Structure 1
Amino acid sequence: MAKTRTHLAELDPVWSRITREAEEAVRDEPLLGGLVHGCILHHATLEAALAYRMAQKLASGEMSEQLIREIADEAYRSDPSLGAAARADIVAVFDRDPACHRFIQPLLFFKGFQAVEAYRVGHWLWQQGRRDLAYMIQMRISEMFGVDIHPAARIGKGIMIDHAHSIVIGETAVVGDNVSMLHSVTLGGTGKEEEDRHPKIGDGVLIGAGAKVLGNIKVGCCSRIAAGSVVLHEVPPATTVAGVPAKIVGEAGCDQPSLSMDQMVQGCGGSKD
């Protein structure tokens, strides 16, 4: 058994850690045994666990749990990048959210992570031309999590959405890798135009709570948008913007704002132990 676990850890260290933490959680709190076994320990892979959890959360009288699970299983089988992105997202949440102490927490409890992984399946459906089904998934994500991400939006890996209440990401929005955002962020348009109309967020950007980024504008890599800001113009890389409307107030303060999660205008330090 020890040899098997060592081999598993080498092949998939994220899933190996999740299963180990799940076993510890059952020992510590037996009343959660049904949840933990059903969501994690009954599955052989992270992808299978994600499909099961998504089906549990999004099922309704309009679409059964079994059907949603089959759709998600198909997506994960067809596109290995979905599972790779989920692993990067789990590590991102653990590294950046001080309230996250174990890898199992995003999978079991954090609606920001769950919404993003469900969006990824909806985006896969969109790319397959199955638009109505993608819209169905979008609707259920919005109803269950309070997160509205258009399935056509393009979102990178290593994403952390903290609290994840009232997040809106529009149809032509692009979000790079290793982006962090807090609740009530909007990546929206500015009117009724139908073409490319939503923001393009670079890698490593930190977007504070309640910030609105509107229009087909670029937010440069490793920049910071202060909480409550309304961004209407391009943001250069490695800068901090704040205000309504947002203006440049300084440099980003560090190489990776989205990793440090420092939202103070002065400085950009600190990390999770």
Structure 2
Amino acid sequence: MVEAAITASDSLWQTIRSEAQRAAAADPVFGKAVASSILAHDDFVAALADLIGQRLGGGATERARFTSFSRDAFRGEPDLIEAAGQDLQAIARRDPAIADLLPPLLHYKGYVALQAWRVSNWLWRRDHRDAALLFQNEASNRLQVSIHPAAHIGSSVYLDHATGIVIGANVVIGDDVTILQNVSIGRRDELPARSPRIGSNVFIGSGATILGDISIGDFAKIGADTVVTSDVPAGCTAVGNPARLTNCPEPVAVA
């Protein structure tokens, strides 16, 4: 498993470096930024850790601290860097505005926020709670994305535009999920307080709110500004406030 993750990240890194070399050759001015962000590093871990440090740290000391934590996380758990690579490739597949890996790596704040969360979750699982919450706080302040370190998020996840995304503690999100801006996913004011469970291949439109002890099934779609407080079966589309179900692959019984 570890060797496979390292091999995949090496292959991805060579693709990113090739794109960076072409960009630097095509534009000498932009090339300086590319060289410092990508070509100055030996591998994907070093480049991504440095990018997280740049985006979250306000000064040299803070940047160094965030970079160090990130590098330790990615090298300590290679599956994290494998997931980071899958997240990056998912953007290239789903975003019609781009076809390469370099632009989202350098410029998509949702991507950086998600990788910062992966580091914070690594810290949280090792009981470094203060450091984990520091990552969440700075990602919220600087990137306008707040993901609690105790959330559970799969791979190939795309936070599109990303501004205003809030994901609470113990939320579960599967693989291949796309989440647009201003989405809130978290607990309701009820006891016991439990968080939503989002399946795989789910699309969540801008401004949607998903709350409480509910499940969103695989391949479901949540429309823009929809408020969801009850289960959405697999393959269904939920729209409106309160949410109503449509386009379900099978008839759904109404309670």
Q: Fold-level match, TM-score > 0.5?
A: yes
Q: Percent identity?
A: 38
Q: Look up the match of 2:45.
A: 47
Distance change (3 Å), C-alpha of 1:9 and 1:27: farther
Q: Look up the match of 1:80.
A: 78
Contact 1:58/1:144 (8 A) holds in 2:
yes
Structure 2 unaligned segments of length 5 or more: list them. Answer: 1-5, 251-255
For 1:207, which of 204, 207, 215 is the aligned residue?
204
Q: Look up the match of 2:233.
A: 236
- Quote the offset at 1:34 in angstroms: 2.4
Contact 2:168/2:195 (8 A) holds in 1:
yes
Query: Where do residues 39-188 of structure 1 align in structure 2 (5 Å cutoff)?
Result: 39-61=37-59, 64-188=62-186
Query: Where do residues 189-228 of structure 1 align in structure 2 (5 Å cutoff)?
Result: 189-191=187-189, 193=191, 196-228=193-225
Matches of 1:37 and 1:62, distance apart in 2: 19
- Quote the offset at 1:47 in angstroms: 1.1
Matches of 1:158 and 1:37, distance apart in 2: 27
Distance change (3 Å), C-alpha of 1:80 and 1:186: same
Count residues with an aligned counterpart: 245
Distance change (3 Å), C-alpha of 1:54 and 1:241: same
Matches of 1:228 and 1:10, distance apart in 2: 38
Q: Look up the match of 2:246.
A: 249
Structure 1 unaligned segments of length 5 or more: list them. Answer: 1-7, 254-273
Distance change (3 Å), C-alpha of 1:215 and 1:52: same
State the AA in 2 paired with 1:214: L
Deviations 1:64-102 (A, max 9, x none): 211221111111111011100011001100000112231
Matches of 1:34 and 1:127, distance apart in 2: 38
- Normalised to the residue count of structure 1, the TM-score between the two structures is 0.85
Distance change (3 Å), C-alpha of 1:9 and 1:20: farther
Contact 1:204/1:223 (8 A) holds in 2:
yes
What's the C-alpha RMSD, in Å, of the aligned pairs? 2.0
